[in-house]
Chains A and B, each alone.
Chain A
Amino acid sequence: MATDPIHQFQISRLIPIEIGGLDFSFTNASAFMVATVVAAGAFLYLTTSSRGLVPGRLQSVSEMSYEFIASMLRDAAGSHGMRFFPFVFSLFMFVLVANLFGMVPYFFTVTSHIIVTFALALLVIGTVIVYGFWKHGFGFLRLFVPQGVPAVLIPLVVAIEVVSFLSRPISLSVRLFANMLAGHITLKVFAGFVTSLSALGVAGVAGAVLPLAMTVALTGLEFLVAFLQAYVFAVLTCMYLNDAIHPGH
């Protein structure tokens, strides 16, 4: 088990629940999702509760993350987009905290499961579609018809645009999931080399320095990826919301 790089992604039932033949068990994934939400919420609440005019360190971390998402959303979707700020900010904090939780040894990485990231992506794209149709009616469909295309090519272009639109939740979810999964497996494999090499005696211990250095470097890289993936997820959410707010000017 110690050297099995996949074992860390196994889901186990903590509290088995079954309703109408469906498995609603409270698993370790659910536990870490709850922990993520609680940690993110508690951090933001507690650090901003003092409301210092001159923020302390932690309060300025909270304010920075607020500013970060707010300016990103304003840039991408205009001031109309700010009504989606709670949505984008919650998504960003959830993904970020879940990714960072995954970096703690023995913790479960929620975002390394495609069903979680796909649910998040569906939420985004569902919001885009519902808001787009609610706000613009069928005018939302102009999104798929680029201007200045010859009439002959329109069916082909529209088909490609529709497929391109439908591929968005897939790429959004696959990117996050694949990066977290691949990163954690790589980390585990290199860390496994350290133990299996050092079991070979003195020469093995000397050789184990290399994978150990690699593991240290990869850990740094994984922290970078954890931030970047949350950032990319939020940026793309903003861009997609922009399409819902301003389809085809």
Chain B
Amino acid sequence: MASQEEPDDLDKRRRDLEAALAARRPAEPGGEGPGTGGKGDFANALRLSSEFIAGVLVGAGLGWFIDRIAGTSPWGLIIFLLLGFGAGILNVLRSAGLVAEFGSKAPKKGDTGPQGKN
């Protein structure tokens, strides 16, 4: 009798343990960071502004650099500032997950696909 009861008991305990572990698992990777729930969202929020600013800055920098090299004074700055603005918007949308990632593979993130690109 005892031999029949024991495996049952063991099975039950194992299942309980599995359930408890499964319930705990999604929270586990967040053990390092604080506030496991909204961490990803908060991290994303921190990203957005700097993504846009970086796009514009790089556009302006590139334009200014090209102007200096090629001597096409205002045009490089104008065009690349606009391109940088576009890149900034693209960065923001991409980090918000609204546009496909680089190379438009994105099976999991932002499957709006290339038509949402422009």
> Which residues of A pack against B, CB within 8 Å?
64-65, 67-68, 71-72, 142-144, 146-149, 153, 157, 159-161, 163-168, 170-171, 174-175, 178-179, 223-224, 227-229, 231-232, 235-236, 239, 243, 246-249
- Known contacts: A146-B114, A164-B90. The answer to whether A231 contacts B104 by CB under 8 A is no
Measured between beta carbons, the chain B residues less than 8 angstroms from A243 are 101-103
Q: Are B103 and A167 in contact (CB under 8 A)?
A: no
A160 contacts B46, C-beta separation under 8 Å? no
Q: Is the CB of A246 within 8 A of B83?
A: no
Contact status of A179 and B103, CB under 8 A, knowing A68-B32, A167-B54: no
Q: Which of B43-94 contact A (CB under 8 A)?
A: 43, 46-47, 50-51, 53-55, 57-59, 62, 80, 83-84, 86-88, 90-91, 94
Given A64-B31, A174-B54, A231-B39, also A167-B46 (CB < 8 A) = no
Decide: A72 and B114 in contact? CB cutoff 8 A.
Answer: no
- Provide the bound-state CA to CA distance between A146 and B34, in Å: 37
Contact of A67 with B29 at beta-carbon distance under 8 Å, contacts A164-B90, A168-B54 already known: yes
Number of chain B residues whose Cβ lies closer than 8 Å to a Cβ of chain A = 41
Q: Please determine whether B51 and A163 come into contact, CB atoms closer than 8 angstroms.
A: no
Cα–Cα distance between A243 and B100 once the two chains are bound (Å): 13
Add 16 more A-B contacts to A68-B31, A164-B87 (CB < 8 A): A143-B103, A144-B102, A146-B100, A146-B117, A149-B118, A163-B58, A164-B90, A166-B58, A167-B57, A167-B91, A171-B50, A228-B34, A231-B43, A243-B102, A246-B103, A248-B105
Tell whether, in the assembled complex, residue A227 and residue B54 are in contact, meaning their CB atoms are under 8 Å apart. Answer: no
Q: A146-B104, A228-B39 are in contact. Are A157 and B34 (CB under 8 A)?
A: no
Please give me the 10 A-B residue pairs with the lowest Cβ-Cβ distance, nearest first: A248-B103, A171-B54, A148-B114, A163-B87, A164-B87, A249-B105, A170-B54, A167-B54, A175-B50, A167-B58
- The prevalent SS among residues of A at the interface is helix
Given the known inter-chain contacts A143-B103, A160-B90, please indicate yes or no for A228 contacting B58, CB distance below 8 A.
no
Q: In the complex, what residues of B have CB within 8 A of residue A68's CB?
A: 29, 31-32
- Determine if B88 and A167 form an interchain contact, defined as CB atoms under 8 angstroms apart: yes
Contact A232 B47 (CB under 8 A): yes
Min CB gap B25→A, angstroms: 10
In the complex, what's the smallest C-beta–C-beta distance from B85 to chain A, in angstroms?
9
Q: How far is the CB of B116 from chain A (nearest CB, A)?
A: 10
CB of B100, distance to nearest CB on chain A (Å): 7
Task: Answer whether residue B7 sits at the interface, using C-beta atoms and an 8 A cutoff.
Answer: no
Could you write out 26 A-B pairs with CB less than 8 Å apart? A67-B28, A68-B32, A71-B29, A142-B103, A144-B102, A146-B114, A148-B104, A159-B83, A160-B87, A163-B58, A163-B84, A164-B90, A167-B54, A167-B57, A167-B84, A171-B50, A171-B55, A174-B54, A227-B33, A227-B34, A228-B33, A228-B43, A232-B47, A243-B101, A247-B103, A248-B104
